Structure 1
Amino acid sequence: MTRSLLVLAATTWLVAASAHAGEQAASGVDEPPSRALLDALSRVMAAPDGFEDLFDAQVWLLDMQSRLARRQPKAYPSRPRRLALLERIHTEARRAGLPPELVLALIDVESRFQPAAVSSAGALGLMQVMPFWKAEIGRQQDDLHDIDTNLRYGCTILAHYLQREQGDWTRALARYNGSLGRTIYPEQVMQAWFTRWWVDH
């Protein structure tokens, strides 16, 4: 499917007005977290930071910071603040093997880029990560309002679900949100991706 068709399809989807809280399934809600996911989370929480390709990252940062300025001018009024946030998003998305623009779209839908966001279900931070994950991997000390920590959890969880669903973004995003079997949340994220954060590579 071409990008234009994807954009057309995305703009016709039904989109709810309010942001959704990420409700990754906890034990007893959907299914227990798999050993593979818990191992992945444990491993990446100790991994080093850094861009793989600094030049490409800088080009991306300059583009995305202008988009973020239009999207959230009050929350991120200064260019250095926008660049710092975007650098973290880019790093964690690439570490997890995810398109950084897709992660931006998910954050846009989940928290509207508010690091202190808390959902009615108790999900926290930019990517609205459920606190039960800390207990599952034995890292109760982790602060899910910390941007780097939140992004690392969220990106790792989403990447695991994408692998589990064999590249099916709709099912992976629904699992991330705890809404497997429903499509409204994946459609919201995909619409944000194609209409606000898409980049031709």
Structure 2
Amino acid sequence: MNGVRQNRANGAARRPLAWVACGLFALVLAAGPNASAGNQKEEAIADSVRLALANAIKDARPPVPTFKDEAARVRYQHWLTEMSSRLKRKLPDDQVRTEFLETAWYESRRAGLDPSMVLGLIQVESAYRKYAVSIVGARGYMQVMPFWARVVGDDDRKKLFHMQTNLRYGCAILRMYIDMERGNLYLALGRYNGSRGKPKYPNAVLAAWKKWEL
């Protein structure tokens, strides 16, 4: 990742998101019906981490954005308009598309993630299919594994098909993995996909991320 791209990533998140230089190569992505589905592995996590993740999931505030100044609001509106144009083919219904983008932006920023990166990840994971289910059972836009509903939620797996719930789980889980990997986005993305240390999935998200940048 070059310096300009790193600065953009750092500016959009509360904490730096660092790529490891070795092993990253260009990958042409064609997300179809069998997009790279998530396969997060259930692993031991500290009680404090589990509690923090559970609290993040339980926060049911609606995705209402707030801005520090008028310039920030204008940038958001520009982002929303541009992303809506790019996503129209995948989500042709105007209301559905607007609600999806508003929620994706809100949950991304809430978790300290670049919204464009999250859109790229969703492209790879589910190709923007709300009810996508992978061969290993991962669900929804961000292909969240059902065990997370038991580990940090109320064990209601059906909720993983609810748009905001799915995006909240996915963004919170990715944030947790980034923190666990000390800001190394390459390893964190691999962990999200259940393929930590292998370049295919991180490279796919990187390629998709570029397509969603302004």
Q: TM-score, normalised by structure 1?
A: 0.84
% identical aligned pairs:
40
Residue aligning to 2:45: 33
The 1:15/1:125 distance shift into structure 2, 3 A limit, reads: same
- Residue 116 (structure 1) aligns with: 131
For 2:47, give the aligned amino acid. Answer: R
The CA RMSD over aligned residues, in Å, is 2.4
Distance 1:122 1:181 in 2: 22
- Residue 10 of structure 1, CA deviation: 7.4
- Does the 8 Å CA contact 2:26/2:203 hold for their aligned counterparts? no
Q: Paired residue for 2:10?
A: none
Instruction: Show the counterpart of 1:52.
Output: 66
Asked if structure 1 preserves the Cα contact closer than 8 Å seen for 2:53 and 2:172, the reply is yes
Give me the whole-angstrom Cα distance separating, in 1, the residues matched to 2:49 and 2:36.
Answer: 23
Verify: 1:101 aligned to 2:113, yes or no. Answer: no
Equivalent pairs, count: 188
Q: Which residue of 2 aligns with 1:61?
A: 80
Counterpart position of 2:14: none
**In 2 relative to 1, CA 150–181 (structure 1 residues): closer, same or farther, beyond 3 Å?**
same
CA distance 1:68–1:109, shift in 2 (3 Å) = same
The residue type paired with residue 146 of structure 2 is: P
2:11 alignment partner in structure 1: none
CA shift for structure 1 position 67:
1.1
The 2-side partners of 1:116 and 1:165 are apart by 30
User: Deviation at 1:97?
Assistant: 0.7
Alpha-carbon distance in 2 for matches of 1:165, 1:109 = 21
Counterparts of 1:131-142 in structure 2, within 5 Å, are 131-141=146-156
Supply the distance in 2 between the matched residues of 1:16 and 1:170 (Cα, whole angstroms): 20
| Change in CA separation of 1:4 and 1:99 when aligned onto 2, cut-off 3 Å | closer
State the match for 2:16 in structure 1.
Answer: none
Secondary structure of 1:21's aligned partner: coil
Instruction: Work out whether residues 41 and 194 of structure 2, in 8 Å CA contact, stay in contact via their aligned partners in 1.
Output: yes
Instruction: Say whether residues 1:145 and 2:161 are aligned partners.
Output: yes
TM-score, normalisation: structure 2: 0.79
Which ranges in structure 1 are unaligned for 5 or more consecutive residues? Answer: none
> Which residue, 61, 75, 97 being the options, matches 1:82?
97
Distance of 1:36 and 1:93 partners within structure 2: 22
Q: Separation in 2 of the partners of 1:38 and 1:191? A: 31
Name the aligned partner's letter for residue 181 of structure 2: E
Say if 2:200 is the partner of 1:188.
Answer: no
With over 3 angstroms needed to count, the CA separation of the structure-2 counterparts of 1:191 and 1:138, relative to structure 1, is closer
